[in-house]
Chains A and B, each alone.
Chain A
Amino acid sequence: MAQETIDIDYVANLARIALTDEEKERFSGQLGQVLDYIEKLNTLDVSGVEPTAHAFPLENVWRADEPEPGFPVETALKNAPAVRDNMVVVPKVVE
């Protein structure tokens, strides 16, 4: 069976993970094997079958529009790697 290939650069870019060349090669090979295994699914006829998104489907699970106090700002930012003026600092975003 021909090994499935992943366009690893495209996918790693979507996933926002920098991979080394070594990782790209290793993951491509390993995931190719996994995809080959998954190929088995192609032999399964699913025409007319509804997809399952939830093991036990429910409907209209909601709550009333009643606010509760949230976090004090100190709690909200306690784990943040960089904070200024009670906001999270990131390198300048240009768009």
Chain B
Amino acid sequence: MAETLHYRTATELGRDLESGAVSSEEIVRALIERTRAVEDTVGAFLSCDEDDALARARESDERRARGERRGPLDGIPVGIKDILAVEGQPLTCASRMLANFVSPYDATAIRKLKATGAVPWGRLNMDEFAMGSSTENSSVKITANPWNPECIPGGSSGGSAACVAAGEAPLSLGSDTGGSIRQPAALCGVVGMKPTYGLVSRYGLVAFASSLDQIGPFARTVEDAALLLQAVAGHDDRDSTSFKTEIPDYRRELSQRRGPWKLGIPKEYFGEGVDPEVEKAVRAAIEFYRSEGCEIVDVSLPHTEYAIGVYYIIATAEASSNLARYDGVRYTHRSKEAADAIDLYFKSRAEGFGPEVKRRIILGTYVLSSGYYDAYYLKAQKARTLIRKDFLDACRKVDAILTPTTPAPAFRKGEKADDPLRMYLNDIFTSSGNLAGIPGISIPCGFSESGLPIGLQILGRPFEEAELLAIAHRFEQAHDYHTRHPDLT
């Protein structure tokens, strides 16, 4: 069994654990072996406390031996983007700024995950402070797309997507501010979901743009994604933006919500700027739903063209303030060159932040600065109202909206590295979902000629994750994209 263990889904592993066919410790050992075999190529991990994972796995096995089981994820390893606080573990955000930072506390999502018995597994690479769409902005290393190591895995949660695609973890957690879960999931051929803003507590998620950030799952199947979402969703009194809402049993709902659904196709997301192979795959997916009896209707999201601009104003403005705390004083990198207290800021931040982070802090500081606030930030907040309204209006007419997740499959490393604007346009189909706060999922819906995965994005009504998962599940049941794995040997 050991040679195939690493590509078993969390659901399958859960059954194996239940039947006694495998122990949690064996699963962790198999993943240790797998990462040793492929990490040189993939480079998804920033660090991994194997001893801690093994200890937690043994605790799970002992629980199970006593007849206790905390839930379907008890004993299952879950990779963690290095942006979520895990007590006693490094929390670097792939930044030199936090290179030596060890978190003294658990994020709420991590606390909940631990409570289910799941095993936090490694710290995953990302764009520095989640700023990027390729994971090339990590200060540590570049992660490869497991389908073609010459290509980027997407970002910012590139490590989270790549490790699941490469069989280094059955599940992982990432964060999505403008597409940072859905976009790498699409490019790596896995399932990635951004829940509704407020469904998963942000406490312990290092803030990039507070009004847009959400934690969400990566998995190889929709069912697995549902299990991981279940573990982390729910109200938290440490996050004032956390919503009080009934959390359904997502896995059970997968089979109970059967449609047929009314699905909207926004014309603004097709045509010019979309790679023909991507358009073809997504159109095929739409035809599948039609063949399943779903009603396919056109919807309009007229303010789509403003979304990227609005997104970059709001996200960088919030980031410029959120990242002010990394200053060389209390816990971050401190420059040894500082002449005085003020110089300490300038030098520590110059040394600690990479170019993309600096660029965004400068932009965000600018749009908030005296004389520009109304023209940029306030205007963007008003435009956000219109973008949000587009989606809420559309969602009154349809159950979900189908779009490509990305305009194109994964691009080559270095291709857009020095063209921030082109890089920003990778988020064109995903960032509106963050502005509107609605949930979105990306599932594999095909491959390009060159063998790179293509993602279908399904956007849904606020707090209707169950419906979204069921719609995605229906597609997955009828296709085998999720069973294909990259050849890494």
Residues of B within 8 A of A (CB): 100-102, 104, 196-198, 211-212, 237, 240-241, 243, 303, 305-306, 308-310, 312-313, 320, 324, 327-334, 338-347, 349-350, 353, 355, 358-359, 361-363, 365-366, 369, 376, 378-386, 388, 420-421, 424, 435-437, 462
Contacts and interface: CB of A to CB of B under 8 A. Distances in A.
Contacts of A71: 104
Nearest to B437: A55
B358 A19 contact: yes
A58 interface: yes
A1 interface: no
Contact of B309 (A33, A37, A81): A37
A51 B313 contact: no
Given A37-B308, A91-B338, A30 B359 contact: yes
A52 B388 contact: yes
Given A31-B363, A40-B306, A56-B197, A79 B331 contact: yes
- 8 smallest beta-carbon distances between A and B, as pairs: A55-B437, A51-B381, A79-B331, A46-B382, A16-B345, A81-B334, A18-B346, A18-B350
13 contacts: A11-B369, A18-B346, A38-B309, A40-B309, A41-B306, A44-B303, A56-B197, A76-B104, A78-B104, A79-B330, A81-B334, A90-B341, A91-B340
Given A30-B420, A80-B330, A41 B383 contact: yes
Contacts of A78: 102, 104
Main secondary structure of the interface of B (DSSP, over half): helix
A23 interface: yes
A14 B384 CA distance: 26
Given A15-B362, A76-B104, A88-B329, 6 more contacts: A8-B362, A16-B327, A37-B421, A55-B388, A56-B196, A56-B241
B349 A16 contact: yes
A52 B381 contact: yes
Nearest to A40: B309
Contacts of B212: 55
B462 A93 contact: no
